[in-house]
Every structure is written in C-alpha cells, then in structure tokens.
A and B are shown apart, each in its own frame.
Chain A
Amino acid sequence: MGVAASSCNGRPAVVHRSFPDGGLLKGAAPLPAGALKALAGIFDVTGDATRFGNPLVVHTTRQTLSLLGDRYASYAVLRPGCIEGGTKLVLEGEWRYATDITTGLARLFVEPAELATALCAGKSAPAGFDAKTIRLTGTVGEGGGVPTNPTTLSYSRPLVDLRGRFVVGGHHGACRTIDDCGVSENSVETLPLAESMGASVVALDVQLTKDHVPILFHDDNFGPRLTRGSFCHGKVADFSLVHIRSLCKLTFGEDIPTLDEALQKVVDDTELGGVWLDSKSPEVVAYEVDAAQRFATIAARKGRSVKVIVGLPDAPSIDAYLAAKPPAGQLCLVELELSDVRRAGCQAWAPRFTRGPMVDQVHEAQAEGKAVTFWTIDEPEFIDLFLRAHPNGMLTDRMSLLYHRVQTLVAPPAQRQPAL
C-alpha cells in the first residue's frame, strides 16, 4: 500500500546541465550588450542540432542567443564569450526538450572569423558583409559532459519583424513551475529567461496581500504546489507582505515578488515590450492601474517602451476597472465577449482558445483597431490552427515553439495594432 501510495506522487525530475569547470566561458571576455543582434535569423541545420528541428530560429537578447526549434518545443539558451584575444566568439549553454525532461549542452563558434572579431571588439559587421556567410559551428550533446556531436547552422534569411503585429506571450513568465525550466513561475528571475525563449510579452498573475500590496502569485492559497516554507500555507489574502517574505519562498528558492519589483525588472533588465497583468481578484485592479501609470513614466525616462496591460477576466473586474477611472491611454484587455471589450473601452480581446478560432469575430475586432490574442495554447496542432485565424498574439507555455511557427509557418497580420 505504501508503494502504491508513493507511486501516485512520482514526477521525473529535470536535470539541468552546466559545463564542467565553467566551460570555455570561464575567463572569457564579455561580449558588448546588443552585439548578438547581428546573428539573429533563420538558420538551416546539419548535424546533431537537427534534433531540435530544421530550420532553427536564432533569437537574441542583450545577453543571450537562443536556438528555438519545433521538435519537442526545444530551446537552447546560450551565453556568449570572447576568447583567444577576442578572435573567437563562443556560445555555450543548456538545451532542453520542453515537452519532456531531456536536456544537454551545446557549444558553438561564430564564423566567419572576421565577424567574430568585429563583434568582440564592439563593432558592427564589416562593411559589405554578406549575412548568408554567417555560420554557427560546434558540438551538441545529450546529458552532461562536454558535447561531442558536430553540428553546423547556416544563415538562411532574416527574422520577420513582429513589432506591432504579433505578440508571443509567455504564460506566467518563462514556464510553469511544474515544467521546471530552472526558475519559478511569476518570479523576477523568470522574466529574462522568458525573453530568451522568444516572448515579447509576459502574462503575470497578480494577487493582493492583507496589507494591500500587489504581488505575483497564481493560486488563492499558498501551498507546496508553488512554494517552499513549512508555514507558507493558507489564503494569500490573510498574509501581509512581511509575513510572505518571512515564511515563503517560491519552489526554486526565489522571493515572491511585488508587482513593482517585477515591472522594475522588466524595465531595467529586459527588452520585453509588454506585461499583461492577469487580475486574480477585482480588488487588485485599481492597484494595477496605478502601477501601470507609474511604470509607463519610469520606462519612458529610461528610453524604454513597456506596455502594461490590465487584464480583466470577468465582469466584477471590468466593473472595478471602470470604477478606478483609468486615465486616457491606459491599456486593458478583456477575456469575455467582444461586446464586453467595447463596454470596458479596452484595446485588446483575449478569448480562451477552447472557444475555437472564431475567425469572423477576430477580423471584426481587428477592423475596430482591437488586438486579439488567444490563451493558453501549447499543442503544436492547435498553435498552427489558431495562427491561421491571424490573431495578433497568443499566450503559451511553449514560447520557443510558437515563436518558431510564427517565423516559419504562418505570417503574422500585416496591419499593426496600436495596443501592441
């Protein structure tokens, strides 16, 4: 009976990989921020990296270069370093099949050498440089240890510019806690990783504490599903922030962040274009409107454009939003009917995907200047199906897969939406 009981609780653990002794990045000179942008594009693959699919999307942030594939929703997040006096640019990091627990390591070198040297020196590509000569060559391997299976990625074409046309929404951040991408959902730490996986917007869950501080947390109660702490148990609304910080950590050890801390992280350390605040109670809506206004100003001072969208999942939240008298220009999103979007004066409609693609209604909303984004879609066949309705975005736990599909399979809407 004990065996039967214990076997009801099994879930295989993901083993996260790192290079022995820090790999070649240990001691490597850092690459200037933004230099990786020159390497973004669609790449054809030969060798071991075909395990991720072919072609691969190479997506870059200020700090990382990611390989995003459609096989098993795979992703590899690599960090750069300049070695051998700045003549070689190496990329190293872990890869994972998002749909199971398989992980491994990848090590790639940027070619041709003159491009690597220019990027390490903080310069752009040499004059007359042909992007089609860009190659990423190296090795990939499954499991731990230095990878040994050769692979080559050859540049094929540039990425489609999705700005204003399509948003890849990261559900709870980079992944759900149960998916184990190494960080907890709704944490500050998940935000840069979500961007590395291809997200341009993150959807974060917002609850209100006993002392009226908005925090990021999905459930109405604390418990072992999402947190650590023997006393981290009971209704979120019964805990003050000081008790949350004293008694609770998220599953991977992070603090439960306040909304302000998360928005500050988005502004300071990412290039995410937006944050969708999923209101878990009507009472939190007014605080979200206040935070959205403050952080729009903070972001503008730093030369960033970050759209904070207040999400309204039900009628009481819509009523609370209207009662908060949001200022002109405040962005909001409604999950109910298109008529509710109009009633609330919102700019975006987010129907649940179980209602179907609703192609006619999607086009009706877009003709009114409203952005349409479906949630939450993870299965490849459903992602493909809903992309063919040409929405303006999709919320998913499989950002790498969605980003790959949007770049390679179905073109995003041509018309840009003001809310995006």
Chain B
Amino acid sequence: MSPTTQLRCCSIALALVFFPYLARAEVSEPRSVSSTVAAPPLPVVPAATTTSPRVPTRALEIGTFLGYGGGIGKQGDIGEVLRSRRGGFLLTAGVLYRTRYFLSPFVDAGFYQLYASRNRVDLGSLGGVTDVNSTLNAVGFVSGFALDAWRLRFKGGVGLFDVIVRSEVLGDRLATSELDMGYVLGIGGHILQRDRVKIGLELRAVAIVEAGMGVLALGLSIDHDALRF
C-alpha cells in the first residue's frame, strides 16, 4: 500500500475516533434565577453598568518538549554493528490554541534523533573491509489536535519530516535528505502549574512511516499561556 494511501487510511481512522468529540460544543448557558419571595420596591438609583468579570475560556499556548527515547521499527543494519544508538534526543517547540471545545489544534516543529551507528562492511574490490559511520535525524513539522482531560493531555497529529542522512566511509561523505510523512502521538500530564506556566511529563511516539523508523520518548514539557481571551 502506498504511503499516500496509508496516510489516507490512518487519517480516516483518526477522524472516526475524534468525530463524536468534534461534533460536541461546550457552551455554558447562564443560569436563570427565580425568587418566590416578592421583593420590596427599591429606591430609584441611576442605572450602572454591572457585568460580572468574564472568565477567559481560550488561550494561545506556546510550549516546548525535550525528551529522550529509544528507536522503534526495523533496524536494517548492513554489515557488523560495532556501535549503535537507537533513538536519541527530541526537541520541539510549538503553539496550541486552547479552545472552549473538546479539541485544541496545535502545530509544532522539532528535531528528532532517530539512529546512529558504526558498522564494519566488506566492500570487496571497492575497498575491502572498512568501517562506516552514519547518522539518521529528522526535522519535523507536525499539526494535530490535543485533548485535555483533568491534568492529562492527549495529542495526535500528522507531520512532514525532512529525514537527514549523514555518513562517511573511506573518506567519502554522504549528505542527503528526503521529505517523508509521519505521525505523532503523545500522552502527558501537568505536575506543576504556576499562574500561566505548566510543567509536566510527556510520553511521545513519533513514527516516520515512509522511512520505516520511529522513536518512543519520555520528556519534560513546559507550556505557557501567552494569551488568554
């Protein structure tokens, strides 16, 4: 199945899960108060504008995530692996629009370490037995929706990742990259909140489908309500 069809399939799955929630709107109606006791006539006083203070229900949140995780997916190694690191650091920054509704849209951008290794390969007539050092990282742009429930936040999104390969063997250097589709899922919780700042922990899974690679990371998230309205 082509990556485009995979993306379509999984987007349909995402929509089916979240549709019931998207269709609901949380609208708080003012309560009506009625009294059964007739009040005495009041003296006439000049009318004054008295409106109760409006509680902000929307916010523009900026946040950052720094985590470390292990690689997931097939690691197709060529030759003998001398040293390897599956996964690595993830660092992202983004903006989330916290709404009155069930879901809050977000976008973020980040850097993802996916894999690094030093392998011994036999190149035969091209150079005999030699070592090759390689890294695989990605710069990703993700958009999706977050769902807040109590202190927990669930996030899911699709993204475009620039998957970057760097390698060196026999003095020859390789530098190449490719744009691939991927998915992000996160579950986090706020453990500390002071005024507009929330600090928490998040478990985040990133799957770059067309590269057949991903990372499952645990890290620190810091979110700040930059605007409330």
Q: Which residues from B are CB-within-8-Å of A10?
A: 1
State how many angstroms separate the Cβ of A3 from the closest Cβ of chain B: 8
Q: Do residues B163 and A233 form an inter-chain contact, with CB atoms below 8 A? A: yes
List A residues 1-50 near B (Cβ within 8 Å).
Answer: 1, 4-5, 7-11
Segment of A78-86, A237-245, A308-316 in the binding face:
A237-245
Q: Which residues from A are CB-within-8-Å of B117?
A: 230
Bound form: Cα–Cα A7–B10 in Å: 9
State how many angstroms separate the Cβ of B170 from the closest Cβ of chain A: 6
Question: Does B197 reach chain A (CB closer than 8 Å)?
Answer: no
Bound form: Cα–Cα A233–B167 in Å: 11
Beyond A9-B1, A223-B210, A240-B174, whether A234 also contacts B165 by CB under 8 A is yes
Bound form: Cα–Cα A4–B183 in Å: 14
- B10 in complex: contacting residue of A4, A231, A249, CB < 8 Å: A4
State how many angstroms separate the Cβ of A212 from the closest Cβ of chain B: 14
Q: Do residues B78 and A1 form an inter-chain contact, with CB atoms below 8 A? A: no
List B residues 1-28 near A (Cβ within 8 Å).
Answer: 1, 5-6, 9-10, 12-14, 16-17
State how many angstroms separate the Cβ of B37 from the closest Cβ of chain A: 56
Bound form: Cα–Cα A248–B174 in Å: 13
Question: Does A150 reach chain B (CB closer than 8 Å)?
Answer: no
Bound form: Cα–Cα A243–B127 in Å: 11
Bound form: Cα–Cα A414–B1 in Å: 42
State how many angstroms separate the Cβ of B126 from the closest Cβ of chain A: 5
Per-residue contact bits, chain B 105-133, to A (CB 8 Å; 1 contact, 0 not): 00000000001010101011011000010
Smallest CB gap from A233: residue in B: B165
- B1 in complex: contacting residue of A8, A228, A240, CB < 8 Å: A8
Bound form: Cα–Cα A7–B6 in Å: 9
State how many angstroms separate the Cβ of A376 from the closest Cβ of chain B: 18
Bound form: Cα–Cα A238–B163 in Å: 14
State how many angstroms separate the Cβ of A213 from the closest Cβ of chain B: 10
Q: Do residues A8 and B167 form an inter-chain contact, with CB atoms below 8 A? A: no
Q: Which residues from B are CB-within-8-Å of A224?
A: 74, 210-212
Interface size for chain A: under 10, 10 to 19, 20 to 34, or 35 or more residues? 20 to 34
Question: Does A229 reach chain B (CB closer than 8 Å)?
Answer: yes
Q: Do residues A245 and B123 form an inter-chain contact, with CB atoms below 8 A? A: yes
Smallest CB gap from A239: residue in B: B174
Q: Do residues A221 and B10 form an inter-chain contact, with CB atoms below 8 A? A: no
Q: Which residues from B are CB-within-8-Å of A239?
A: 174, 176
Q: Which residues from B are CB-within-8-Å of A221?
A: 178
Question: Does A246 reach chain B (CB closer than 8 Å)?
Answer: yes
Q: Which residues from A are CB-within-8-Å of B174?
A: 238-240, 243, 247
Interface of B is mostly: mixed
Q: Do residues B165 and A231 form an inter-chain contact, with CB atoms below 8 A? A: yes
Q: Do residues A246 and B79 form an inter-chain contact, with CB atoms below 8 A? A: yes
Bound form: Cα–Cα A232–B170 in Å: 17
Question: Does A235 reach chain B (CB closer than 8 Å)?
Answer: yes
State how many angstroms separate the Cβ of B198 from the closest Cβ of chain A: 26
Bound form: Cα–Cα A223–B176 in Å: 12
Bound form: Cα–Cα A246–B166 in Å: 13
Q: Do residues B78 and A249 form an inter-chain contact, with CB atoms below 8 A? A: yes
Q: Do residues A230 and B77 form an inter-chain contact, with CB atoms below 8 A? A: yes
Question: Does B76 reach chain A (CB closer than 8 Å)?
Answer: yes
Q: Which residues from A are CB-within-8-Å of B13?
A: 1, 4-5, 8
Q: Do residues A246 and B132 form an inter-chain contact, with CB atoms below 8 A? A: yes
Per-residue contact bits, chain A 242-279, to B (CB 8 Å; 1 contact, 0 not): 11011111000000000000000000000000000000
Smallest CB gap from B177: residue in A: A234
- B121 in complex: contacting residue of A232, A235, A238, A246, CB < 8 Å: A246
Question: Does B191 reach chain A (CB closer than 8 Å)?
Answer: no
Q: Do residues A223 and B123 form an inter-chain contact, with CB atoms below 8 A? A: no
Q: Do residues B169 and A242 form an inter-chain contact, with CB atoms below 8 A? A: yes
List A residues 84-140 near B (Cβ within 8 Å).
Answer: none
| Other A-B pairs beyond A230-B136, A246-B119, 12, CB < 8 Å | A4-B9, A8-B13, A223-B178, A228-B76, A229-B77, A229-B78, A230-B115, A231-B165, A232-B76, A234-B178, A238-B175, A243-B169
Interchain Cβ contacts under 8 Å between A and B, 30 examples:
A1-B13, A1-B14, A4-B10, A4-B12, A4-B16, A7-B9, A8-B1, A8-B6, A8-B9, A8-B10, A9-B6, A11-B1, A228-B78, A229-B78, A230-B76, A230-B117, A231-B136, A232-B76, A233-B163, A234-B163, A238-B174, A239-B174, A240-B172, A241-B126, A242-B170, A242-B172, A243-B174, A247-B132, A247-B174, A249-B78
Which residues of B pack against A, CB within 8 Å? 1, 5-6, 9-10, 12-14, 16-17, 74-79, 115, 117, 119, 121, 123-124, 126-127, 132, 134, 136, 163, 165, 167, 169-170, 172, 174-178, 183, 210-213
